[in-house]
Structure formats: structure tokens, C-alpha cells
């Protein structure tokens, strides 16, 4: 009951008809924070003016958030030789080749959040498509998880790289921090994602590209954001 009252109070502080500038929205997010026993994730939803049914309007990528996500990421790397050594030195949690692929196949080993593989190992990794695909764990060169520079990929993932992909409804969902972050850090992370999304705008996308942006704590009220400042900055660059 007490939590419900706090939620209602938080909603009352938000103008539901207003779109807040990113910095102001981040400050309001923190001002309406509901004290919980855990550190809630800050989520963002960006509705794009694209039709994902068309291959040339699929928006997909990865962004290295300047302040990370606040989450500890477990990285699995499929590589051999010096590449495997590079992965271990970069902080990969699990590194292997045929042995690791077999463990995933036979033991359903999935205690990791992201997988990286060298290009020469993709024939082997391909056997795991049915297991990794539905869970969003399949390495992909478009988001930098199929790469000869596995060390760099591991460091970026550990440092807060977030992968995203537009959903059927044209919406990008991503975690961009924790409620323990400062408002400035949340704003920086939001801007980093929005700037990349603008750069990834498909040439075939017509009309308004970024239709709406909403940020919220996992169990908190949504705050609508105005991305115009980000757009203006990119246009002036």
C-alpha cells in the first residue's frame, strides 16, 4: 500500500502531456525515484518511424554507453590460440572452442549474457543457432560480436556496450543505467543512444524518424522526452 502511494505521488509530479528535454527528464526521473530494496534499471523505449518488415528499414546496432549500464556482464568467447588469450586478458568469463560449443549443446550451458566469436569460428558457432538465436545470444558482425579483435569486443561489453534491435512495432528497448546513477550520467547515456540511432536512420525511412522517447525505472512511471536538442546538435555538426 505504501509503495502504491509513492507511485501515485511520483506520477503526480510528471506532466503527462509534456516532452522534457533529456537533461530535465533525467533530473525528474531521479526526483520521482521510489525507494526500493534493489537498484532498479533505467529503461528507455524509442519509437521509430520505420517498418521492420522491410529489410532496408531494420535498425540494429550496439552503443558503448559512456557510463555503462551498472550491470555486471558475463561474456563467453569462442576463439582459439592467441585470440583466446586476448579474450582472457580482456576479462572474458568463458573462453573455448569445440569444447565450449559442446558444453552448450550437451549441457545447455547458458550462464552468460553475451557471446563473441572470431570469424573463423562461426562455422562451429552456427551449430548453436537454435539455442542461441531465440535468446538473442547469437554473435553477429553487425553488432561487433563476430570480430577478429575479440579483446576490444570483450572490453566494450564489460564496459557497458548495449546491443539493440527494432521490434515488430518499430520500438527500440534498451537498459541505459541504474537508478543509483546521477541524473547527468543517465542523460549522457540517453544522448549516446539517441545520437547513434539518428546515424543509423535507414535511407528508405520517410517522415518523422524518432516519434517518441520514454524513459522510466523498471517499475516506475514513464517520462516522455524531447530529442530535439540531440537532433539539432547532429545537424549542426
Same domain, 136 and 190: no
Same domain, 119 and 147: yes
52-90 as b/e: b if 16+ CB within 10 A: beeeebebebbbebebbbbeebebbbbbeeebbebbbeb
Same domain, 84 and 138: yes
Average pLDDT score, the chain: 90
Mean pLDDT lowest among 6-10, 24-28, 128-132: 6-10
Mean pLDDT lowest among 139-143, 173-177, 223-227, 228-232: 228-232
pLDDT band (50, 70, 90) for residue 9: confident
CATH number of the structural domain spanning residue 147: 3.40.50.790
| pLDDT on residue 205 | 86
CATH number of the structural domain spanning residue 29: 3.30.190.20
162 forms bridges with which residues in the sheet?
63
| pLDDT on residue 236 | 60
Is there a domain that residue 149 lies in? yes
How wide is the angle at C-alpha 61 spanned by C-alphas 236 and 199, nearest 5°? 15
| pLDDT on residue 3 | 58
Is there a domain that residue 183 lies in? yes
- Give me the domain span that covers residue 100: 75-159
| pLDDT on residue 1 | 44
Is there a domain that residue 225 lies in? yes
Same domain, 111 and 131: yes
Is there a domain that residue 6 lies in? no
Same domain, 186 and 232: yes
Mean pLDDT along residues 204-225: 90
Question: In this model, does residue 237 exceed pLDDT 60?
Answer: no
Estimate the crossing angle of helix 183-199 against helix 228-236, to 10 degrees: 60
Highest mean pLDDT among 5-9, 13-17, 207-211: 207-211
Q: Which residues does 164 contact at the CB level (< 8 Å), separation at least 6?
A: 60, 61, 62, 63, 172, 173, 174, 193
**DSSP E strands, the chain:** 20-21, 41-48, 60-64, 75-78, 94-96, 114-117, 161-165, 171-178, 210-217, 223-226
d(CA 91, CA 74): 9
Boundary-marking domain end, from 128, 159, 190: 159
Give me the percent of the chain exceeding a pLDDT of 70.
96
Q: Which helix (H) or strand (E) holds 34?
A: none
Same domain, 61 and 108: no
Same domain, 190 and 88: no
Question: For 55-114, what is each residue's pLDDT tens digit?
Answer: 899 998 889 899 999 988 899 999 999 999 999 999 999 999 999 999 999 999 999 999
Report the domain count for the chain.
Answer: 2
Question: For 148-205, what is each residue's pLDDT tens digit?
Answer: 999 999 999 998 888 898 998 999 999 999 999 999 999 999 999 999 999 999 998 8
Q: Taking the alpha carbons of 11, 12, 16, 20 in that order, is the dihedral positive or negative?
A: negative
Amino acid at each position: 500500500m505504501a509503495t502504491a502511494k509513492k507511485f501515485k505521488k511520483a506520477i503526480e509530479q510528471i506532466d503527462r502531456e509534456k516532452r522534457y528535454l533529456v537533461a530535465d527528464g533525467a533530473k525528474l526521473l531521479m526526483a520521482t525515484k521510489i525507494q526500493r530494496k534493489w537498484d532498479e534499471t533505467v529503461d528507455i523505449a524509442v519509437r521509430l518511424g520505420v517498418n521492420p518488415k522491410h529489410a532496408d528499414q531494420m535498425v540494429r546496432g550496439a552503443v558503448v554507453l559512456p557510463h555503462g549500464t551498472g550491470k555486471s556482464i558475463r561474456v563467453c568467447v569462442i576463439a582459439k590460440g592467441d585470440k583466446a588469450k586476448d579474450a582472457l586478458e580482456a576479462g572474458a568469463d568463458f573462453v573455448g572452442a569445440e569444447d565450449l560449443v559442446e558444453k552448450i549443446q550437451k549441457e545447455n550451458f547458458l550462464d552468460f549474457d553475451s557471446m563473441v566469436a572470431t570469424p573463423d569460428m562461426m562455422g562451429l558457432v552456427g551449430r548453436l543457432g537454435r539455442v542461441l538465436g531465440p535468446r538473442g545470444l547469437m554473435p553477429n558482425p553487425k553488432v561487433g560480436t563476430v570480430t577478429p579483435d575479440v579483446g576490444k569486443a570483450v572490453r566494450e561489453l564489460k564496459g557497458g556496450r548495449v546491443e539493440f534491435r527494432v521490434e515488430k512495432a518499430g520500438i527500440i528497448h534498451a537498459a541505459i543505467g541504474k537508478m543509483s546513477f546521477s541524473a547527468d550520467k543517465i542523460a549522457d547515456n540517453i544522448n549516446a543512444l539517441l545520437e547513434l540511432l539518428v546515424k543509423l536512420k535507414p535511407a528508405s525511412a520517410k517522415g518523422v524518424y524518432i516519434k517518441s522517447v520514454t524513459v522510466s525505472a523498471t517499475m516506475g512511471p514513464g517520462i516522455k522526452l524531447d530529442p530535439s536538442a540531440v537532433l539539432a546538435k547532429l545537424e549542426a555538426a
